[in-house]
Amino acid sequence: MVRSFIVEADGGSRGNPGPAAYGTVVRDAASGEVLVELAEYLGEVSNNVAEYRGAIAGLEYVHELDPAANVEMRLDSKLIVEQMSGRWQIKHPDMRDLAKRARAAFPPGHVSYTWVPREQNKHADALVNEMIDAALAGAESVIRRVGGQPSEVDVAEDVVGSIEVERSRAIADSVQPPRVMIGWADLGSPTVTVMARHGATELSLEKRFSGLGGVDAPLAPLGRRQAQALAGELVTRGDIDRIVSSPLLRTQQTAGIVAEALECDVEVIDGFAECAFGDWDGFTFAEVRDRWPVELEEWLASTSVAPPGGESFETCQARVRRAREHVVAQYPGERVLVVAHVTPIKVMVAHAVGASLDSLYRMELPPCSISTLAWFPDGNASMFSFAEAAHLREIETPRGV
């Protein structure tokens, strides 16, 4: 009689990429009994890599038990379920290598993949967090519990794992700025970037993708009123030393309205341009979902995936960081108005507060809103405000814009 097993796998990264681990539970399909709990600290990797590694660990363990068994793999990662089921393409080379390893663990036809909601994958998720917590505390970096007890192999593996954890910490300590409570120490005079989103365009009012390389849309009449309100607010504050802008028309028009009020020149910095959305430019989200369903799902699942003909959020992040570094190096201790777009501003905010790049999915920025970030000489950063929009309250704006 062919044996059947259920593998519940999960992976997680605190930051994407960041300190990561997988957690895997192997059960007997007939009884539901937990046969083994597996987890491993992976160092600095992405969520998707950790998810794949969890699936592979479960498959390889079951193969050791019975290479002729049937396996139901349960994950809360729709991306991996669809890719391993053959319904979605695997474009990222690292993902392709991991998928090949997963397929090699069993003969074709012996493994099925099932997506489950996150709440039904709590056991594996708990293992992920237990593993990351333990590894970062300098304790174990591998869990292999059979019947609730660690196996003998763990003793040797934990020693190696602890060395890897310490090595990762040493590397992290060498490149990360010191952790200092802002306001509790003299960190020197920061360069302050006052981040302002441009005013509305007809494309933004219709909620259409509008990025670098697409239609270079001008401000709509509403957008000009928003820019004038922004200019009035900044005149009242009276603390802007200089203005820089994205090269796109809508940002330069917004910056021009503010510059006239402040009697400043505008410097154009290409790195602050909006992310390039490629073939999706000019389409609404619903239209993209209808025409490019697979590509959209993959894009939403990973910041390393680019729209067809466009650039990924990670690529955009790299050029925005270079632009920020230019501003901080050229204008130390000054207050610089940066007129930019949704994505660059979110990238800057995430960087300032130490959030993962995928946090940009959970930020909302109205047109001509203000977010203020401080960049200190020792590498520390702080956010003083986010998406301020009180100066726009007298302007009638369509809901959700």
List residues with catalytic annotation: 198, 274
Phi then psi for residue 222, to 5 deg, are -60, -40
Stated as kind and residue range, the H or E segment containing 323 is helix 313-330
Q: How far apart are CA 129 and CA 135, in angstroms?
A: 10
Q: Are 165 and 135 in contact (CB under 8 A)?
A: yes
* DSSP for 219-270, written as a single string: BPHHHHHHHHHHHHHHHHH----EEEE-SSHHHHHHHHHHHHHHT--EEE-G
Tokens of 98: 């991991």
Q: Taking Cα atoms as reference points, which of 66, 64, 63 lies closest to residue 1?
A: 66
* Block residue for tokens 């591998």: 142
Q: How far is the CA of 202 from the CAs of 69, 219, 220, 253, 391, in angstroms?
A: 58, 7, 6, 14, 21
Q: Taking Cα atoms as reference points, which of 3, 345, 374 lies closest to residue 193?
A: 374
Report how far Cα 358 is from the mean position of its chain's Cα atoms: 2
- 3 state SS of 396: coil
Q: How far apart are CA 17 and CA 47, in angstroms?
A: 7
Q: What angle do CA 57, 63, 66 make, to 5 degrees?
A: 145
Q: Sheet containing 18-28: which strands, arranged edge to edge? A: 111-115, 70-75, 4-13, 18-28, 34-45, 142-146, 149-150
Instruction: Give 173's contacts (C-beta < 8 A, 6+ positions apart).
Output: none
Instruction: Give the largest Cα separation in the chain, rounded.
Output: 83
Q: How far apart are CA 218 and CA 34, in angstroms?
A: 61
